[in-house]
Amino acid sequence: MAESIELPSRLGILPFRNKVLLPGAIIRIRCTSPTSVKLVEQELWQREEKGLIGILPVRDAAETTAVGPTLSQGVGSDSGERVPKIQVGASDGHKVDGKNQQEVIHWHNRGVAARALHLSRGVEKPSGRVTYIVVLEGLCRFSVQELSTRGTYYTARISSLEMTKIEMEQVEQDPDFIALSRQFKATAMELISVLEQKQKTSGRTKVLLETVPIHKLADIFVASFEIGFEEQLLMLDSIDLKVRLSKATELVDRHLQSIRVAEKITQKVEGQLSKSQKEFLLRQQMRAIKEELGDNDDDEDDLVALERKMQSAGMPSNVWKHVQRELRRLKKMQPQQPGYNSSRVYLEILADLPWQQASEEVDLDLKAAKERLDSDHYGLTRVKRRIIEYLAVRKLKPDARGPVLCFVGPPGVGKTSLASSIASALGRKFVRISLGGVKDEADIRGHRRTYIGSMPGRLIDGLKRVGVCNPVMLLDEIDKTGSDVRGDPASALLEVLDPEQNKTFNDHYLNVPFDLSKVIFVATANRAQLIPPPLLDRMEVIELPGYSPEEKLRIAMQHLIPRVLEQHGLSSEFLQIPEAMVKLVIQRYTREAGVRNLERNLAALARAAAVRISENEKAVPVSKDVHQLTTPLLDNRLADGAEVEMEVLSMGVNNHEISSTLRIASPLVVDAAMLEKVLGPPTYYDETAERVATPGVSVGLVWTTFGGEVQFVEATAMAGKGDLHLTGQLGDVIKESAQLALTWVRAKATNLQLVAEEEINLLDGRDIHIHFPAGAVPKDGPSAGVTLVTALVSLFSRKRVRADTAMTGEMTLRGLVLPVGGVKDKVLAAHRYGIKRVILPERNKKDLAEVPAAVLACLEILPAKRIEDVLEQAFEGGCPWRVSSKL
């Protein structure tokens, strides 16, 4: 390394993109672009050892922040020419190429002169392109005065930034420089010692500290570090020696601290490993000593206790072999190992599962079971009969594989409580698995043990909770499972509910077969249509329709009111709800298939009564003609000075009889005024007559997941082009039914005397708009066909439909009325709304057997075979145009 370097006034410039070459540093580059090849060939190859080039850092155009001053574009050259845009090949670290010739380069105004230590030339085949591999050594800093082009590469007029010998001697006498030099050498010596100790090398690197000048030594050390481009530029711009030494000392110290932190982490990890090995050896020695002394207590060994628990679990032989293998693997592991806890939890779950533990079934008494069902549930005769049949088969053959019962019905009709009654009748434990909103197959089959936080599926977890292998398991809301990228739970249930497959149910977490054939599965759903057909095929569907108002009244008086009073700390002595008031609640405040809203309203009345009783804790004054008792018992009750009504009792009465005399004088009886004050204005009222007061409105019956409902259909005409408009959030099927109804009416318009002649178009000059109220509720299905025809005929004939008549039925293009589903729910809905006449398809007469006789007694059922029969019954006085029509 030369002490004094004379630089020419102009140097060829090789750009370094996002990288800096410092004096004293050595770098190897490969030149392939025409620009860099021409520069190396003319400035280094032809001049041999005398050749020098300038290495100038450049910044990407995307980077807007520059450190230090930068040269602007278009600097004038010696010949007076201008460079309109500086274009240069990219310098990718150690590789210079010229791919993006249109990229604007931001030049740094300081660089480093470099000479070639090694230069080799090559030719690429088959293109014949010349390339150079150059090993460059940085010599000294320079400043760019002017930047121009020479042919294809750049040259610059420069001025050296190196200090003269005299200036250097003056700086070396500066006390601050001497202190910085000592600090830098001490830090550098410490870094070299750490590196030599880490790499097991000799002290040859320390010779540099004694032979190389301190100002060049700083550049050499910093060049060996991996630092950012911005810090490299700061080091390059440190012309002042004291600033350069200070910056270099900071970088060397930071590199030293990073090495020490890394060594500390390594030593900590190695120490932990050695500690684990030491603990393992000590535990083995302790176990051997205990065995020699005969002091090995199995009760203190958790693994031995776990093994005993698994031995008593009654596992099948294939499962026991698998468990033994896992247990041996666990014994070889240390508690600190990552997989120890997961393996232990896995074995504990296997030991807790009821492989052989079963509930002892009581002798089935069908009479007692029937009484229990009657006491818990009112009505539901068909459902109770099917449950009794199921229990009778179980009594004759306990190991019989009975069907999987699926109770389908609207909310609040007692589906879940029926499953609980089955468990009580059989004397088995009951477990409920909620499937509503489940979209992950792992909820049924469990997670694989490779995942963090894995756990068994809900079925295995439920069996683990009840502790028996033969419970009654309720799969609640089985119609509300979904599917996504995590799998399809409904498909996973196929194996669970199949008696031929669930004997070897394989949970992903257990990874061993488990017998589910002893479990009695009962499912519940609101709609059978949402259950996949393969899963529905494995179950016996039992429909639970909604309750009639009379059934709701009996349920409220026998079940709901006693339960509500007990939940609110009341009794019939404090609150009485007459049947008439319960009827008002059913008619005016609840129109549902079940009884949940009814129970909520009764609970609201109980809360209001509790508030009134708590606020009026004033007893009735004692009558003048009644003697007072002065027994200690009553003295205690009157400690707060309250007055109660008393009567003289003989000394032979017991405490219960005495306490029965201390009650409120008169209970709170709910009346119509209290009903409206607590529950507010009536929610429902008879609006049928008001809604059908104008032509174009008919009353239909529909089925929903909440039971049957009354649906009004409104039609109106307006000036237009004969278009049909449908509103009310309708599905495709009901839209097709509307189009079908309009087509039939247009075809029969002359026969129905809706137009005078056959050639007249019924829709000439007007549009038809059909609306289904309650637009926020989606509607679909074919059962509104007859209702749509009736509304259109009423519109065109300007005659009103009977307000006491509702209808349902699918129609064909030829005018036939086809049967529909949900007849019982629809008839009950009509009864709830006060409808007196119901038009049904003739082929649905068989479904009326399920409707309670009390409901049928209040309704007039009108069977219809064709659309003409519907129209005959829908209008007051029959169809007035039927006599002259050709129907």
Q: Is the pLDDT assigned to residue 66 strictly greater than 80?
A: no
Q: Is the pLDDT assigned to residue 623 strictly greater than 50?
A: no
Region of poorest pLDDT, from 153-167, 202-216, 450-464, 487-501: 202-216
Q: Which two tokens stand for residue 451?
A: 């995942």
CA distance linking residue 785 with residue 817, whole number of Å: 9
- What local confidence, expressed as pLDDT, does residue 274 receive? 66
- Percent of residues, the chain, with pLDDT higher than 70: 83
For residues 441-456, give the mean pLDDT.
Answer: 84
Q: Which two tokens stand for residue 605?
A: 């009345």
Distances (CA, A) of 799 to 245, 574, 761, 867, 877: 106, 55, 20, 17, 11
Distances (CA, A) of 616 to 222, 569, 573, 621, 634: 90, 16, 15, 14, 21
Look up residue 54 and give its DSSP letter.
Answer: E
Strand partners of residue 92: 95
- What local confidence, expressed as pLDDT, does residue 633 receive? 40
Q: Is the pLDDT assigned to residue 365 strictly greater than 90?
A: no
For residues 185-208, give the mean pLDDT.
Answer: 71
- What local confidence, expressed as pLDDT, does residue 272 receive? 62
How is 219-285 classified by DSSP, letter by letter? HHHHHTS---HHHHHHHHT--SHHHHHHHHHHHHHHHHHHHHHHHHHHHHHHHHHHHHHHHHHHHHH
For residues 833-862, give the mean pLDDT.
Answer: 88
* 4 vs 234, more confident: 234
625-644: pLDDT as tens digits = 434 434 444 444 444 444 43
At position 263, the amino acid (one-letter code) is E
- In terms of DSSP H, where are the helices of 616-652? 632-637
Q: Is the pLDDT assigned to residue 195 strictly greater than 50?
A: yes
Q: Is the pLDDT assigned to residue 100 strictly greater than 60?
A: no
For residues 296-317, give the mean pLDDT.
Answer: 73
For residues 526-533, give the mean pLDDT.
Answer: 86
Look up residue 480 and give its DSSP letter.
Answer: G
Q: Is the pLDDT assigned to residue 589 strictly greater than 60?
A: yes
Q: What is the pTM of this model?
A: 0.56
At position 102, the amino acid (one-letter code) is Q
- What local confidence, expressed as pLDDT, does residue 881 receive? 56
Q: What is the band of 7 on the pLDDT scale with cuts at 50, 70, 90?
A: confident
Contacts of 739 (CB under 8 A, 6+ apart): 724
116-129: pLDDT as tens digits = 888 888 887 777 78
Coil/strand/helix, residue 198: helix
Q: Is the pLDDT assigned to residue 93 strictly greater than 50?
A: no
- Percent of residues, the chain, with pLDDT higher than 90: 9
Q: Is the pLDDT assigned to residue 151 strictly greater than 90?
A: no
Highest mean pLDDT: which range of 185-189, 250-254, 694-698:
694-698
For residues 826-843, give the mean pLDDT.
Answer: 88
Q: Which two tokens stand for residue 489?
A: 């739970």
Q: Is the pLDDT assigned to residue 357 strictly greater than 60?
A: yes
735-750: pLDDT as tens digits = 999 999 999 988 888 7
Q: Is the pLDDT assigned to residue 661 strictly greater than 60?
A: no
397 annotated active-site: no
For residues 42-67, give the mean pLDDT.
Answer: 72
CA distance linking residue 235 with residue 240, whole number of Å: 10
Q: Is the pLDDT assigned to residue 662 strictly greater than 50?
A: no
Residue of 406, 409, 408 lying closest to 422 (CA atoms): 406
- What local confidence, expressed as pLDDT, does residue 418 receive? 86
Residue of 238, 205, 235 lying closest to 222 (CA atoms): 235
Q: What is the band of 206 on the pLDDT scale with cuts at 50, 70, 90?
A: low
Strand partners of residue 12: 53, 155
Region of poorest pLDDT, from 43-47, 206-210, 721-725, 817-821: 206-210
Per the prediction, the chain carries an average pLDDT of: 78
**Beta carbons within 10 angstroms of residue 208's beta carbon:** 15
DSSP element (H, E) containing 307:
helix 302-311
Residue of 545, 542, 558 lying closest to 598 (CA atoms): 558
Catalytic residue among 421, 548, 737, 783: 783
* 475 vs 692, more confident: 475
Catalytic residue among 216, 552, 824, 826: 826
Strand partners of residue 523: 406, 475
- What local confidence, expressed as pLDDT, does residue 759 receive? 62
For residues 199-222, give the mean pLDDT.
Answer: 71
Q: Is the pLDDT assigned to residue 594 strictly greater than 60?
A: yes
Q: Is the pLDDT assigned to residue 241 strictly greater than 60?
A: yes
Distances (CA, A) of 222 to 59, 219, 249, 361, 464: 20, 5, 9, 85, 66
At position 84, the amino acid (one-letter code) is P
CA distance linking residue 437 with residue 530, whole number of Å: 13
202 annotated active-site: no
* 92 vs 671, more confident: 671
- What local confidence, expressed as pLDDT, does residue 263 receive? 80
CA distance linking residue 305 with residue 298, whole number of Å: 7
- What local confidence, expressed as pLDDT, does residue 639 receive? 41
Residues in the chain: 887
Q: Is the pLDDT assigned to residue 809 strictly greater than 90?
A: yes
- What local confidence, expressed as pLDDT, does residue 1 receive? 41
Strand partners of residue 725: 769
537-561: pLDDT as tens digits = 888 888 887 787 888 888 888 888 9
10-42: pLDDT as tens digits = 888 888 888 888 888 888 888 888 888 888 888
Highest mean pLDDT: which range of 238-247, 437-446, 862-871:
862-871
- What local confidence, expressed as pLDDT, does residue 787 receive? 93
Q: Is the pLDDT assigned to residue 115 strictly greater than 90?
A: no
Highest mean pLDDT: which range of 111-125, 676-690, 726-740:
726-740
How is 356-406 classified by DSSP, letter by letter? S----PPPP-HHHHHHHHHHH-SS-HHHHHHHHHHHHHHHH-TT----EEE
Q: Is the pLDDT assigned to residue 108 strictly greater than 60?
A: yes
Distances (CA, A) of 846 to 709, 826, 836, 843: 21, 14, 20, 7
Burial 342-369 (b: 16+ CB within 10 A, else e): ebbebbebbbebbbeeebeeeebeeeeb
